[in-house]
Structure 1
Amino acid sequence: MTAASAEHGHALGAWPWGYLLQTWRELDVPEGWRAEIDERRIVLEPPPPAHHHAIAAQVQRRLYATLPGHLGIYQTLGVHVTQCGKLYVPHLVVTPTELLAAADPETTDPLDAAEALLVVEITSRGNAREDRTKKYRAYARAGVPMYLLIDRFDTRGAMSTLFTEPNEDGTFKHTDAVPFGKPLALPAPFDVSIPTDEFPGPAAP
C-alpha cells in the first residue's frame, strides 16, 4: 500500500452489511491501524500522527477530572451506525462501563453508537472532509448526544466544535465552535471546560 492510498484508506471490497461486519470482527489489523466500514467497504486507516495522540491525551485527561464513576473513556472502540451501514473507530468514545463489562469477551463486536455519550474525532488533512460530513451525519442519525470535532484544518483556522442535540435527519441542532486557544465547555454529565491553547496547530501545507 502506498503512502497516498493509506492516507485516504484502502478499500477491501463492497459487500452486504452482515458479511462486512463478520469480516471486520475477524480482521487481523496491524498494530496502530484502524479498520472502519463506510460506503459498504472496509477501509484501513493508518496510525494517527503524533499530534492526534497529544490532543487525545489532553482531552482525556481533562474529562477524567470530572467523569462520573460509571462512565469510561475508550480510544480504540468501534461504534456502528446500523441504519447507515457504517462502523467507525473514533479517537475517543465515552460510554457506560457496564456496557463493555457485559460484552462477550470472546468477540470484538462494536458498540452501538446510540450508547455513546460523547464521540471525539481529530482530523487529518486527508480525512477532515469525512469527519465534517459523513461522520457528522452518521453520529447525528445514531443519536449520539455530543460529537466533538477537533479540526486543525478548518477553513476558518484550527477549531474545536461541539455538536449537540442530534436529529434523525442527520444534523445537530446546536453547534459551539471555538478557535484553538480558547476553552470549550462540555455540558453534563461532564461539566468541564476543555482548554485548547496547547493543541498543536496545523503544519504548513
Structure 2
Amino acid sequence: MSIVATSHHYRELPDTPYNLWMRDELADLLELPHDGTRAEIIDGEIVVSPGPDIAHNFIVQDIWHAFSAARVVDASFPWRCVATQDVNLSEIHDGYIPDLCFLRQETAAGIRRAQIKKALPEHLGLVLEVTSPTNASDDRLPGKRRAKPTKWNGYARACIPYYLLVDRDPEVAQVTLYSEPEFAVWEYKESTSWAFGETIALPEPFALEIPTDEWEPWLRHGF
C-alpha cells in the first residue's frame, strides 16, 4: 500500500504501518536517522517528528526531577517515570511515544521482570507530551491543523487516566491536565490549566507540585 508520512515522502510498505511499528521495522524502512527522530502511528497514519530542542528536553527533565524528588522525600511515593517509551494502543492500531510515561511502582517492577518492550495503556497512570512547532497539532484536541483524531483522542480512547500536555506555542504557553477519559467518544471530560510561570498542582493520586518559572515558549523565528 502507499503510505504517506509527515515528511511527505511516499513509499510502498510490505505491511501495515502499525504492524511494522510493532515489529520495530518501520523506522528502518523509512530510512530515518538515529538522532531522536520519532515515527508514530496516529489514527493509522505514520507521523514522523524530528528530535526535540533543548528547551523541550529541560521541561521534560523538570517534571522527571519533581517525581524523583518526591521519591527521595517519601520512599512510599508510588510513581515511577520512563522517557520515550513506546505505547501500544492495540485496540485502535496506533503506536505513540510520549515524552514521559508514569507507572505505579509495582507495575513498573512487573514490566521490568517481564522485559516488556511496548507498554500498554493499562500500565500507565499518566502520560506527558510537550509540544514542538512541527507536531503540536498531533498532541492537542483536533482543530484546524489536524481535524482527524489526535493523540489526545487516542489516550482518552485507551482510558489512560491522566494526560499532561505542556503547550509551548507562544500563543498558548500553558500546561493542561486532562482527566476523566470517556471511552465511547474518545475524549477527556475534565481539564485544569496553568499558565507558564504558575505552579502545577497535580491532584491525587500524585499530590505533587511542579514549578514552571523557567519554562519558555518556543521561538517564532526558528527551532
Which TM-score band (shorter chain)?
0.7 to 0.9
Q: Secondary structure, in 3 states, of the residue corresponding to 2:214?
A: coil
Which segment drifts farther, 158-167 or 61-70? 61-70
Please report how far the alpha carbon of residue 25 of structure 1 lies from its aligned counterpart in structure 2 after TM superposition: 5.5
Distance 1:81-1:154 versus aligned 2 partners, 3 A rule:
farther
Distance 1:22-1:120 versus aligned 2 partners, 3 A rule:
closer
Distance 1:18-1:89 versus aligned 2 partners, 3 A rule:
closer
- Name the residue aligned to 1:124: 132
Does residue 159 of structure 1 match 2:163?
A: no
Contact 2:173 2:196 in 1 (8 A): yes
Please report how far the alpha carbon of residue 55 of structure 1 lies from its aligned counterpart in structure 2 after TM superposition: 0.4
Gaps of 5+ in 1: none
Please report how far the alpha carbon of residue 41 of structure 1 lies from its aligned counterpart in structure 2 after TM superposition: 4.1
Does residue 44 of structure 1 match 2:48?
A: yes
Number of residue pairs matched by the alignment: 196
Please report how far the alpha carbon of residue 125 of structure 1 lies from its aligned counterpart in structure 2 after TM superposition: 1.2
Deviation by residue 1:57-84 (Cα, 9 ceiling, x = unmatched): 1111112222455532111201121222
- Name the residue aligned to 2:24: 24
Letter in 2 for 1:94: F
Please report how far the alpha carbon of residue 40 of structure 1 lies from its aligned counterpart in structure 2 after TM superposition: 3.0
Q: Secondary structure, in 3 states, of the residue corresponding to 1:98?
A: helix
Contact 2:7 2:48 in 1 (8 A): yes
Bigger-Rg structure (1/2): 2
TM-score, normalised via structure 2 length: 0.77
Please report how far the alpha carbon of residue 24 of structure 1 lies from its aligned counterpart in structure 2 after TM superposition: 2.5
Gaps of 5+ in 2: 142-149
Does residue 199 of structure 1 match 2:215?
A: yes
Contact 1:13 1:42 in 2 (8 A): no
**Aligned 1:176-195 pairs, distance under 5 A:** 176-195=192-211
TM-score, normalised via structure 1 length: 0.83
Deviation by residue 1:70-112 (Cα, 9 ceiling, x = unmatched): 53211120112122221111111111312421333xxx73111
Distance 1:71-1:99 versus aligned 2 partners, 3 A rule:
farther
Q: Percent identity?
A: 31
Deviation by residue 1:151-181 (Cα, 9 ceiling, x = unmatched): 01164x3010000111102111210011101
- Name the residue aligned to 1:114: 122
RMSD: 2.6
Contact 1:116 1:144 in 2 (8 A): yes
